[in-house]
Amino acid sequence: MKAIKNWKIRKIPFLKGPWPLLRVPNQGKKEGLDRGRMVTESRRLAVLYLLFFAAFPSDVTAASAFERQLQSRVTALPGQSFNVSFAHYSGYVTVNKEAGRALFYWFFEATEDPASKPLVLWLNGGPGCSSIAYGLAEELGPFHVKADGKSLYPNPYSWNQVANILFLDSPVGVGFSYANNSQDVVTNGDKRTAQDSLAFLKNWFKLFPQYRGREFYLTGESYAGHYVPQLAQAIVRSQKLTGEKSINLKGYMVGNALTDDYHDHYGVFHFMWTAGLISDQTYKLLNIFCDFQSFVHTSSACERILDIADKELGNIDPYSIFTPSCTANVTLSRNKLLKRRHSLGIIGEKYDPCTEKHSTVYFNLPEVQKALHVNPAYAPKKWETCSDAVNENWKDSESSVLHIYHELISQGLRIWIFSGDTDAVIPVASTRYNVNALKLPTVTPWHAWYDDGQVGGWTQAYKGLTFVTVRGAGHEVPLHQPKLALVLFKSFLSGRPMPTLTELNVPM
């Protein structure tokens, strides 16, 4: 069905001394910052400068990195009428000089004491969808876009409350990431994406050397169910070969994640049928023609049945089946409508099922792109939340990454899988089939977890893996249930079980 077939499984010259740094560029009363904030920020920069050169007292490379950090600092965002207590940076990291491939990132320090907090990378999927568009702008990032497409509001459940968060648009052709050779955009696949993401991390740590050796975690959702384990595997194998340990990988967590084509398809069809979304006949035909198909490269026979199921679904939001879909511009094609996302809204914000549309307006504003240091020579003519060129031309896609789980569990990594239970794209049924296929011994049996005295979901701990469901959440858990998602994230970082009825939320 198009509803499955086309869903994006998502998506300064060197300063000679520290004192010139005490002037915070472009951050005065004009941007709403008072003198006290400027003094605090000046002191923070001075301390950062001293920490840099205490660690690298005669290292010219470190000096260059500090200089580049200052250049990548985001000093003010259009439409931001509120102050923040953290620094953030954005720009490009070259991952292949010969091919001219560069990936765009946006990095947010933790709101308090970032030097003591872990570093976390977030990836969206698609393949072909932007982590800036989804993970940052409508899920777990500190800024979300208002309905006017021109202004921002703060997210009270931002994950940078407890960690330093790095968002990456990967692979090239996604968001603001680019390649000099246009053919690279239509020849992406799992293998090169993992290689380029590893190259990104190695070069990013050169740009931010103060994070070398910091506790590091990978997180993501949807097709990042491929990206995250594959990148974790690439990191582990690379460090075994080279002995280099700047990337201190401790674990990863993925949500509503594409993991194994057979189990994921079987779970999708099972979920849609039991939820009453498709007919008995269509359910049978899906299992006959699609069970063993690739999620990315389906056969024509399977696509015909998927089209039938799409019509039976009707105009619902498959990413969250019990909430309204975006009905703006109803003349759009089915594919475009199904790429819409919806928002349950944040406290103080009106419910809005068309959040993706607002981000599209905002990130196409020239002043926003300038503030984010987007390279004007390579900026897309129109910034899009998801790239059809990347998605429709995807090359290699592993049929299963379960073997990677076994490999990395043996390395002692902390591995969590979570699932919003109202998602019909990669539903909780799919994830349960995948977890069961790993055949891991149970450590803590299935039970409810709680937040503020209410059931937040259910969880089971296995030897080497923890599985968590989030009650009432769709495909994008931090969007649909932001408070519960933050509880989940805190538990994952601490390595503690999800809170029970008699426990308080996990302290950090």
Sequence-distant (6+) residues with CB within 8 A of 238 are 198, 244
Separation in Å, CA 109 to CA 9, 54, 99, 371, 489: 28, 21, 31, 17, 16
| N-to-C CA span, the chain | 44
Instruction: Give the whole-angstrom CA distance, residue 240 versus residue 373.
Output: 35
Instruction: Give the whole-angstrom CA distance, residue 347 versus residue 316.
Output: 25
Instruction: Give the whole-angstrom CA distance, residue 369 versus residue 485.
Output: 29
Separation in Å, CA 34 to CA 66, 274, 356: 26, 57, 33
Amino acid letter, residue 135: G
Sequence-distant (6+) residues with CB within 8 A of 298 are 5, 290, 306
Catalytic pick among 263, 342, 358, 475: 475
Catalytic pick among 169, 264, 423, 451: 423
**222 included as an active-site residue:** yes
- The owner of tokens 């001219």 is 100
Amino acid letter, residue 162: V
Catalytic pick among 130, 222, 397, 419: 222
| C-alpha torsion angle, residues 123, 127, 129, 131 (rounded to 10) | 0
Question: Active-site positions?
Answer: 222, 423, 475
